[in-house]
Amino acid sequence: MTTSPLTALDPQRVQRRSVFLLSASQLLSGIGNGATLSIGSLLAVELSGSEAWAGSITTVLTLAAALAALPLARLAEARGRRVGLVTGLGAAMIGALLFIVAVVAQSFPILILGAAFLGLGTAANLQARFAAVDLAEPEHRGRSLSTVVWAITIGAVAGPNLIQPGAVVGQALGLPAIAGPFVFSAAGLLLASVLLFLGLRPDPLLLARRLASGPNGTGGTGGLPVRGTVRSGLRAVRASPRALLALAAVVAAHGVMVAVMSMTPLHLQQLVGGSHASHHGGASENTDALVVIGLTISLHIAGMFALSPLWGWLTDKAGRLQTIAMGHGLLLLAVFIAGFGQNEPTLVTAGLILLGLGWSAATIAGSTLLAESVSPDDRVTVQGVSDTLMGGAGALGGASSGLLLAWIGYQGLNMASSLVAAAVLALTLAMALRRSSSVSSS
């Protein structure tokens, strides 16, 4: 008797190895995201010459992530998670290099192009969380997904605080000081790409398909991948009320988070920089504002990722719906604190921390619920559609936030965002109550 390569593999050993590699790549690639979020809006204003373009980097980045999500999902369907993730991270490395070129050339169009390439890395990072559950056991899906989400914490929190070390590196390389952080970003993205390209073998998605199709690896999901579309993905979601709620939860949380977060650096620059401008030769030269902005965004990103294991544990133990409700409840609390405390940097920072925590809880629980609420044949396509809509919501939030800031101020922006979070919270509580009543009656 002979043992086939398929039966010789231990799926849970492959799962543990995959989660470790995905986590390591998230850590490295997080540096790029952190630097972009903290100074992207400031660069946009500087290179364009107008505050009207403050939200353009976040808008382009999230829109590119939305447009790339389904193509990367199709690539994963056809070639596996490894190829899809490496493609997205490699494109993001090019984006980080383009940011450096934009600063050197003082070119706003090149900056926008760099943001578009970085968006592909965002799409890849979002899909990494789904790769973590390809081989996960049902009772550990939340834990596996949250572990990969958590791993981005160190890199993402470090990114905004690399402004001053980046200035030293930039000057050593003969670059403008503000271009320095993106040297770290490009290096981190290169290392993340190489790590996954060399290490993510066997591919978790392809192995899961082979295991699902039987020892011979033929038929069912082990055959040729389905060429999913947005329409087919939405059709699969509409067939399951739980999947529909899960999709609404992650999309709304992302839209609210991006809308408030993307305008906070500009608000803080005006709030902190304006009060010190006369002592520092103008707001553009005020390092106090940059320090406050870097700290606030760092703590916000820490809120997004640092407690991910807690939300994963609650998703598995307390329930998917309950954790989604916690997430959107935190989002509501966040926008009220940041909005009504708009004149106090400390309260704005506290609101941004809670904003990150709410996003994390809603995204982890919603993504877990979505992955298990559709059939295996539809799962990768639905995940791509989810990321597409998340990116679209983020792009809409980033684009509209600048207009809302100009029209109704920072407090008004937060209050408008509260309506979205409140609607999803109400829907989640209604479904949880119906399920509770159904269980009680049976």
The answer, as to whether pTM is greater than 0.85, is: no
What CA dihedral angle connects 191, 194, 195 and 200, to 10 degrees? 160
Listed as ranges, residues in the chain with pLDDT below 70 are 1-8, 32-38, 155-161, 214-228, 274-287, 439-442
Q: What is the pLDDT of residue 202?
A: 93
The helices-and-strands tally (H runs, E runs) of the chain is: 17, 0
Judge whether 159 and 186 are in contact, CB under 8 Å: no
Integer-rounded Cα Rg, in Å, for the chain is 22
Residues 162, 164: Cα–Cα separation, whole Å? 6
Query: What residue has token string 């690896």?
Result: 217
Closest CA to 203 of 184, 182, 225: 225
**Looking at residue 209, what is its pLDDT?**
86
Q: Helix, strand or coil for residue 19?
A: helix
State the pLDDT at residue 228. 62
In order, the DSSP letters of 276-327 are HHHHHTSGGG-HHHHHHHHHHHHHHHHHHHTTHHHHHHHHHHT-HHHHHHHH
In one-letter notation, the amino acid at residue 375 is S
Task: Identify whether the C-beta of residue 158 lies closer than 8 Å to the C-beta of residue 31.
Answer: yes
Q: Please give the domain boundaries of the chain with CATH numbers for all domains.
A: 9-433 (1.20.1250.20)
Cα dihedral angle (335, 339, 341, 347), rounded to 10 degrees? 40
Sign of CA dihedral 415, 420, 423, 428: negative
Q: Give per-residue pLDDT as tens, 233-289.
A: 889 999 999 999 999 999 999 999 999 998 998 888 888 876 544 444 443 445 677
Give the Cα separation of 1 and 47 in Å (integer): 69
CB 108 within 8 A of CB 47: yes
Reading the block at residue 228, the tokens are 């999913």
Check residue 37 and give its pLDDT: 62
Nearest-angstrom CA–CA distance, 174 and 124:
32
Cβ atoms of 9 and 183 within 8 Å: the answer is no
Residue 361, pLDDT score: 97
Amino acid at 319: G
